[in-house]
Structure 1
Amino acid sequence: MTISIRDLYQDILIQTAGQETVLIAIDGGGGAGKSTLAQKLKEVDAENVSIIHMDDFYKPSEQRKHVSESEIGGNWDCERVKAQVLVPLSTNQPTIYQRYDWVEDKLAEFHDVPSGHVVIVEGCYSLLFSLRPFYQFKIWVQSPREVRLSRGIDRDGEEQRHLWENLWMPAEERYIKAQNPMEAANLIIDGTGKTSVIENYEVTVLKKNDDALDV
């Protein structure tokens, strides 16, 4: 079933009515279409929507040296996501968080996040077990591996292929197998963009919980 981005946004607001600050997670594998969906939702109501990227919480290389390969999402500082973003906003407190600079490989400037509006946390691992309880609405964006890999290489360059194939994608597969984030999602949305669906301000809902949306 297809729904417009505007209707999706309005239905989420209906489902989360009464919440002063609405926290939305958009999870999915790398290259699935998460950031595109988040941006399109923001464009519906730009003044009242903030987007926070999980990639801003990637750990500097010095910290990543100590991460076990078996640790789910260990290269992302999910405790910092919780402390700097989810805990304060869930109690309707404004907050600040520090962005990881991928070029300089260090933490960079701080960003303000007001409370009392919609805050989208987009990125793989946003639906980790430890983070799920903070969200009022959860979305998983589904795209096949080959589509995601192609998008990743187009974005990051062929020289980054080894990171996609040998590090990031295998880690995401372990996350999906161990924690089944799709099951926690209110909606699973098609991110393939076969007909530029997201770009045309519509999305196809692949699965919804019974109480998710009236679509």
Structure 2
Amino acid sequence: MQELEEILRAHAARYPAMEAADYVKLIYQNEFGGCPAAARDGEKERAVPPAGGPLCEPIGGGLCRVHLAALPQGAGPALDRLALATAREAAGSRERFLQKLELLRGLCAAGQLPLDSAALEAFLAQGGAAGPCPPHSGAYQAAYAPGYRVLRQSYADMLPAFLEAERVAARGGVLALDGRCASGKSTLAELIGRVYGCPVFHLDDYFLPPELRTPERFAQPGGNVHYERFEQEILRPFTGGGEVVFRAFDCHAMAMRPPVTVPTAPFAVAEGCYALHPSLRGYYAGAVFLTHTPEKQRQRLMARSPKMLERFEKEWIPLEERYFSACGVEQFCGVTVDTTDLF
């Protein structure tokens, strides 16, 4: 409850025109993640960002309000999709919601919020907390013209990538996610796959088999994955409208795993370093590059596998950096997301 108390105080200071309905709405969104029946949550499209306030505003529970005015024109469909996904995934309960209302009651009774207890009780007595998420009060709408979507913070953090995913999904095709190791490519791919219900193909399933691990092969920028087989098994059939049948290479067993069949679909994600090898680029309808600082990369790799850190630093990271530089990977991408401060 401490987090919610701090959020209530922060919103009270930022939005002095808040009334009972606005406090109850904030608590409802904190618990339930917005309104699943209406992604737009009844807010105006003509909104402007709050004066001097953040464009992405945390509301607790790993959720935030993303103000529409912060986004480029045409971002609405992606925001609506993410808002609906957020509401569907929320694990809120009526019991916790009522407990949070009791916190609000206590803060008002103690004079710690600029909301009169009698006004709050009158709103609640009229059923203000009995049904779905209430609309903002007239005073709040007149003062702030609110326009936002309630999103999981993890969705908001990767919003530029989701806008690119929405663009590709709308027309159909494959979105490539490339970038530095430990920058969040697999995490982002999992999020996109969950929101869009689309297949995700991993370059990590295409390590080189032993017979291709030659000095000549490793001398090629990007040559340390089996990009030829990725093209043949994944990209060519998928973009041709057919089903995909592929076999992942298990680098521990040094053998192919059993075949996996993926039905035809309009949209997919190809994820992993070397996804944007020059021989593969023609198959993609969009591309995102993920990066972070060397210090953050080392920190994440240490947390992931201390025993492998030395090999990453002496072997795999130099190979990746040579590939990025020689092949102009980041420059090719339409979107770059720096995840240094995200996790």
TM-score (norm 2): 0.51
Partner SS for 1:73: coil
* 1:138 equivalent in alignment to 2:287: yes
1:29 maps to a residue whose letter is R
1:171 maps to a residue whose letter is L
Q: More strand per residue: 1 or 2? A: 1
Encode CA deviations 1:33-80: one digit per residue, 9 max, x unaligned: 1011111112213xx311111010001334314544321122210000
Partner SS for 1:150: helix
CA separation of 1:72/1:149 partners in 2, compared to 1, >3 Å: closer, same or farther?
A: same
How many residues align? The count is 190
1:1-215 equivalences under 5 Å are 5=155, 9=162, 12-19=165-172, 22-45=173-196, 48-65=197-214, 67-155=216-304, 157-192=305-340, 194-196=341-343
Query: Identical aligned pairs, as a percentage?
Result: 26
Greater RCO (Cα-Cα under 8 Å, separation 6 or more): 1
The higher radius of gyration belongs to 2
1:152 maps to a residue whose letter is L
Q: Cα offset for 1:149? A: 2.7
1:181 maps to a residue whose letter is V
Encode CA deviations 1:161-213: one digit per residue, 9 max, x unaligned: 23201111000111111011111111101222x244xxxxxxxxxxxxxxxxx
Aligned-residue Cα RMSD (Å) equals 2.2
1:102 maps to a residue whose letter is C
CA separation of 1:151/1:86 partners in 2, compared to 1, >3 Å: closer, same or farther?
A: same
CA separation of 1:169/1:13 partners in 2, compared to 1, >3 Å: closer, same or farther?
A: same
Q: More helix per residue: 1 or 2? A: 2
CA distance in 1, matches of 2:323, 2:206: 17
CA distance in 2, matches of 1:34, 1:183: 17
Q: Cα offset for 1:111? A: 1.7
- Report if the CA contact (8 A) 2:179-2:291 is conserved: yes
Encode CA deviations 1:90-123: one digit per residue, 9 max, x unaligned: 1111111111113212221222222223211110
Of 164-173 and 2-11, more deviation after overlay is shown by 2-11
